[in-house]
């Protein structure tokens, strides 16, 4: 880890964080929120982003006291001075984080196979799992590169993805079929506040990787100074892209359209392109964008899952007699382990909904643990 310390600049860390956040959610979950909240969907995504930004800044505040990668273990472990209790708390927190990340990598791998099928309709569904495994192998390979090289490749992928989304926004806004008045019509607004809040919680899952740079803090140049800046810039960029994409979609697609075409709920961008009469070739490019979004998420989240295993194994090695663990399970070895588990479980694509739910539950547990940690640390500082 020391060899990698301080390799990432602010720009590289921002692109890596944006790449981790802009995943499949914008292509699929955006439709769920439009169906639930109609014209208020974009507001739900804005609120969700602001909530997760606060969570990210809480983690960044904790990182000021522990300047090392592996906050998913180190932050909660700092709650107790007793080594056994400290390791236990850290291990439980890391397990929740690891399972949440694992759910994200499996989901991403599965849906890369699905979007490959959308891109090439003639391909048999039997090929989808093979495509998923290939994506996992590529993610492992990219993660095994030096941090600087991997970050540049990730930066190029993210830049291309953002460009695709910007072109999509321009096409939707500039279309003569765009109906600016339909967004906030009474028929396109939810009948109760519960639907709005449900949309906020759905959108929150899209921003979960805002904490990625916090847990890779040991790899960021001058992290104590740059970390809050990285989080704020990353979130602002992501919110603008998300809200802009959803508002653009709502110019031609409303909640009634999705209610009448339930098969399009998870691909609202495709429905918008069809309604505005966009070129067919851009629909294919959009599917490529979805694959890139899934892959950048898979790559970064796999790295974070690997870090969680590595940090726990080192802590156990220091506090138990299993000294060999520290040598055997470093970050790169952990990434290979995560990749192998992802490759195997991605074959069971019938359980994709279970994977999504398990990932969101464990992520929620982890957020609660981190928030409790922050409160306790602040109370201790006042004593």
Domain covering 2-382: architecture:
Up-down Bundle (1.20)
Closest by Cα among 190, 214, 194, 202 to 64: 214
- The answer for 69, left when phi > 0, alpha when psi is -120 to 50, beta otherwise, is beta
pLDDT higher than 50, residue 2: no
To which H or E segment does residue 92 belong? helix 83-119
Which are the contacts of 317, defined by CB distance < 8 A and separation ≥ 6?
323, 324, 325, 326
Burial 67-92 (b: 16+ CB within 10 A, else e): ebbbbbbbbbbbbeeeeeebbebbbb
The pLDDT value given to residue 100? 86
* Span 281-336, pLDDT tens digits: 998 998 888 888 888 888 888 988 888 888 888 777 776 544 444 445 677 889 99
* Span 52-108, pLDDT tens digits: 999 899 988 888 777 666 788 888 888 888 888 888 888 899 888 888 888 889 988
**Domain assignments of the chain as residue spans, ordered by start:** 2-382
The pLDDT value given to residue 191? 52
- The angle formed by the CA atoms of residues 229, 231 and 233, to the nearest 5 degrees, is 65
The pLDDT value given to residue 293? 83
Across 344-366, average pLDDT: 79
Mean pLDDT score of the chain, rounded to an integer? 82
Q: How confident is the model at residue 142 (pLDDT cuts 50, 70, 90)?
A: confident
The pLDDT value given to residue 319? 62
* Dist CA 59 CA 211 (whole Å): 7
- Least trusted range by pLDDT, from 61-75, 215-229, 331-345: 61-75
**Greatest Cα-to-Cα distance within the chain, rounded to the nearest angstrom:** 70
* Dist CA 69 CA 71 (whole Å): 6
* Span 112-132, pLDDT tens digits: 988 898 889 899 989 999 999
Most confidently modeled of 100-104, 180-184, 229-233?
Answer: 229-233
């Amino acid at each position: 880890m020391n060899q990698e310390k301080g390799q990432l600049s602010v720009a590289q860390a921002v692109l890596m964080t944006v790449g981790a956040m802009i995943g499949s959610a914008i292509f699929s979950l955006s439709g769920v929120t439009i169906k639930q909240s109609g014209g208020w969907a974009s507001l739900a995504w804005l609120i969700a982003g602001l909530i997760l930004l606060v969570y990210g800044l809480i983690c960044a505040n904790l990182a000021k006291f522990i300047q090392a990668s592996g906050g998913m273990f180190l932050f909660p472990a700092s709650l107790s001075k007793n080594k056994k209790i400290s390791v236990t708390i850290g291990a439980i927190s890391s397990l929740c984080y690891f399972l949440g990340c694992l759910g994200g990598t499996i989901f991403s791998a599965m849906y890369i196979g699905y979007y490959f099928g959308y891109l090439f309709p003639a391909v048999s569904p039997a090929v989808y799992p093979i495509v998923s495994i290939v994506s996992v192998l590529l993610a492992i390979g990219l993660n095994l590169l030096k941090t600087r090289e991997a970050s540049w490749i990730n930066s190029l992928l993210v830049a291309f993805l953002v460009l695709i989304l910007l072109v999509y926004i321009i096409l939707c806004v500039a279309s003569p079929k765009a109906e600016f008045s339909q967004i906030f019509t009474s028929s396109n607004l939810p009948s109760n506040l519960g639907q709005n809040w449900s949309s906020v919680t759905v959108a929150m899952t899209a921003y979960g990787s805002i904490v990625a740079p916090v847990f890779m803090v040991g790899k960021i140049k001058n992290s104590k100074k740059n970390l809050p800046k990285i989080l704020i810039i990353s979130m602002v960029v992501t919110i603008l892209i998300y809200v802009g994409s959803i508002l653009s979609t709502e110019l031609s697609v409303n909640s009634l359209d999705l209610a009448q075409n339930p098969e399009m709920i998870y691909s609202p961008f495709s429905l918008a392109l069809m309604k505005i009469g966009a070129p067919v070739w851009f629909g294919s490019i959009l599917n490529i964008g979805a694959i890139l979004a899934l892959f950048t998420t898979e790559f970064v989240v796999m790295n974070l899952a690997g870090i969680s295993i590595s940090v726990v194994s080192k802590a156990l090695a220091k506090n138990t007699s299993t000294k060999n663990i520290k040598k055997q399970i470093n970050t790169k070895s952990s990434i290979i382990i995560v990749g192998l588990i992802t490759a195997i479980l991605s074959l069971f694509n019938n359980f994709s909904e279970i994977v999504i739910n398990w990932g969101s539950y464990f992520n929620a547990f982890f957020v609660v643990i981190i928030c409790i940690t922050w409160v306790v640390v602040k109370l201790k500082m006042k004593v």
